[in-house]
Homo-oligomer: A and B are copies of this chain.
Amino acid sequence: MKSYGQFCGVARALEMVGERWALLIVRDLLVGPKRYTDLKTGLPRIPTNVLATRLKELEAAGVVVRRVLPRPAGSVVYELTEFGQELEGIVLALGRWGAQRLGAFGEGEIATADSLIMALRSTFDPDAVAGRSATYELRFGDVVISAQIENGELATDAGSTGKADLVIEAFGPLTPLLAGEITAAEVVAQGNVQLSAMDDRSAAKKLAGLEDFAAIFPIRPLPAAS
């Protein structure tokens, strides 16, 4: 834990969560408490010793607590402290900022349930909901998450609920759609998205549902370099 030698809040923050992998661990823990192995599964490229080291450092910084679950579970979970929870806004803002440069799905890159959940949370625009309710199921390869919108609030969950109004299966990048660069019809025509619904609604209705989705979870297009 090397100091930056500056008496400065930003420097202190970076000493606590600025090291490699640290904020990605926080990102996953923002979704909920996790066991060591769950963290490792959600962050496949992290070396196990680095994960162990980061968890100790985050614990020492008061960001994370290691807790042994009461009987009969008896397992170990890591969860954010209240102090650690305060990072949520920062992580969401970083996610929004970085999403502008997401580009295409790189080779060897993966999407995890937690990263998708945080992506939805970070781009969620309550103003775009306008009192509607909706339940979406999002499929990215074998990762499936659900998003439920009610009373202008977003609830996310890993896995399928089995009763989404609209199931959005993505085969390619959704970012052009979310950035408003192309329409729902276009992204479907490109074969990057396939829609299905529990009820047998028409294709036009499903497209409209996808347009709604894009409006609720918008990302900003990249500004021109200044």
Contacts and interface: CB of A to CB of B under 8 A. Distances in A.
B13 A94 contact: yes
A91 to B, nearest CB: 6
A11 B101 CA distance: 11
Given A6-B115, A90-B90, A12 B99 contact: yes
A10 B110 contact: no
A32 interface: no
A111 interface: yes
Nearest to A13: B98
Which one of A10, A81, A96 has the greatest number of beta carbons of chain B within 10 Å?
A: A10
A94 B7 contact: no
Contacts of A24: 4, 6, 10-11, 14
A81 B100 CA distance: 14
A102 interface: yes
27 contacts: A4-B45, A6-B109, A6-B112, A7-B102, A7-B106, A7-B109, A8-B98, A8-B116, A8-B118, A8-B119, A9-B98, A9-B100, A9-B102, A9-B122, A11-B98, A16-B98, A18-B20, A19-B20, A61-B101, A65-B226, A80-B226, A81-B225, A83-B222, A83-B223, A83-B225, A90-B93, A90-B97
| 10 tightest A-B CB contacts, nearest first | A13-B98, A9-B99, A12-B98, A8-B115, A9-B95, A9-B98, A13-B94, A82-B226, A81-B226, A10-B95
Interface of A: 3-16, 18-21, 23-24, 27, 43-45, 61-62, 65, 79-83, 85-87, 89-91, 93-102, 105-106, 108-112, 115-116, 118-119, 122, 222-226
